[in-house]
């Protein structure tokens, strides 16, 4: 396999690709060809880094190798980032062994050391890679920006090993979640506008934006441990202004109270369900934990939605004087 060339500088085209990826546009098409890439003028003693063929993963790595002569072995992860691909098995032992062999890496370097991203560890059995290829797997820092210090010091510090999920990282998830929700939100907006006017439409917008935008931004500050219950509590809070306004307009104690309960029961599971999507975007969770959370809360959310819808129908009927 021929060695391809990559640079450490990012072009405007690369950055536009990143914007599209963040928006979820052409979601599975942000890829680079898998194989072996050279950065600078690597020798047989140059370090070998391993990456996914998702453009954001590859570009994050190469842009932090400025001033280095290195090789990057890109695995075929089907356009999925390192952490998710490790969970799916595409950033895994078999694929790594396959690319080491097909790239002829053993003939291109005189050492037997591979530097993998730490978040790729769940998918790789290092002892099997060593046995099959002779290459030793070494895990670098969590963040690509720490690679220069890691290479200079020759070790990973505890800070480099720590996985964080700060506000900036959480905010980066918002655009793609909003875009992905539009296929459900737009029809819901039209139906609710036809059924109840602008106010009903705004309730749908508040629920979806609450689950896709407010939830990730407020994630560390929402009480409870499960993502679903965090989202449901947020949904209840978001329902209160609408309930208060409805009570002011109708001035009916029993329909106002019924509307308040019904709206909370309907908005809570919507925001909670959208909040569950973020279990796959953060290292706060595990696959087994997510599975347990889904089985625990999905029946509850379905029941709340059904009861809320029935109560809302009763409320509307009461306000129309049907009983």
Report which DSSP code applies to 109.
-
* Closest CA relative to residue 266, chosen from 243, 295, 291: 243
Phi, psi of 28 (to 5 degrees): -100, 20
Question: What per-residue confidence (pLDDT) applies to 284?
Answer: 66
pLDDT digits (tens, 9 = 90+) for 226-276: 999 999 999 999 999 998 887 777 766 777 788 889 999 999 999 999 998
Question: What per-residue confidence (pLDDT) applies to 183?
Answer: 84
Please report where in the chains the tokens 């609450």 appear, as a residue: 210
Determine the Cα–Cα distance for residues 87 and 279; give it in Å rounded to an integer.
Answer: 13
Determine the Cα–Cα distance for residues 218 and 302; give it in Å rounded to an integer.
Answer: 24
Mean pLDDT by 10 residues, the chain (323 residues): 90 94 88 96 96 96 96 96 88 96 95 95 95 96 94 93 88 89 86 78 92 94 92 96 83 76 94 88 71 90 94 77 55
Determine the Cα–Cα distance for residues 274 and 256; give it in Å rounded to an integer.
Answer: 27
* Closest CA relative to residue 150, chosen from 119, 112, 115: 115
Domains and CATH numbers, the chain: 4-163 (3.40.50.11600), 168-319 (no CATH)
∠ CA 125-131-135, nearest 5°, is: 80
* CB atoms inside a 10 Å sphere around CB 308: 21
Determine the Cα–Cα distance for residues 287 and 44; give it in Å rounded to an integer.
Answer: 40
- Residues 141, 121 contacting (CB under 8 angstroms): no
């Amino acid at each position: 396999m021929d060695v391809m060339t990559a640079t450490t500088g990012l072009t405007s085209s690369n950055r536009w690709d990143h914007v599209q990826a963040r928006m979820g546009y052409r979601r599975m098409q942000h890829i680079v060809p898998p194989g072996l890439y050279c950065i600078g003028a690597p020798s047989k003693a140059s370090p070998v880094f391993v990456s996914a063929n998702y453009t954001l993963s590859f570009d994050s790595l190469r842009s932090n190798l400025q001033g280095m002569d290195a090789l990057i072995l890109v695995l075929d992860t089907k356009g999925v980032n390192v952490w998710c691909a490790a969970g799916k098995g595409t950033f895994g032992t078999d694929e790594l062994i396959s690319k080491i062999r097909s790239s002829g890496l053993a003939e291109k370097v005189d050492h037997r050391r591979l530097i993998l991203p730490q978040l790729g560890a769940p998918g790789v059995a290092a002892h099997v890679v060593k046995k099959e290829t002779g290459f030793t797997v070494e895990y670098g820092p969590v963040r690509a920006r720490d690679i220069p210090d890691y290479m200079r010091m020759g070790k990973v510090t505890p800070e480099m090993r720590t996985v964080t999920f700060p506000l900036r990282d959480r905010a980066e998830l918002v655009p793609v979640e909003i875009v992905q929700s539009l296929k459900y939100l737009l029809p819901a907006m039209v139906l609710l506008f036809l059924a109840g006017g602008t106010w009903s439409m705004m309730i749908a917008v508040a629920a979806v934006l609450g689950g896709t935008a407010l939830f990730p931004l407020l994630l560390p500050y929402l009480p409870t441990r499960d993502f679903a219950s965090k989202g449901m509590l947020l949904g209840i809070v978001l329902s209160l202004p609408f309930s208060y306004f409805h009570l002011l307009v109708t001035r009916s104690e029993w329909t106002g109270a019924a509307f308040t309960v019904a709206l909370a029961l309907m908005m809570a599971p919507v925001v909670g369900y959208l909040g569950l999507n973020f279990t796959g975007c953060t290292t706060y969770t595990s696959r087994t934990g997510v599975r347990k959370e889904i089985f625990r809360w999905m029946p509850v959310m379905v029941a709340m939605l059904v009861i809320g819808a029935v109560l809302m129908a009763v409320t509307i009927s009461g306000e129309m004087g049907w009983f």
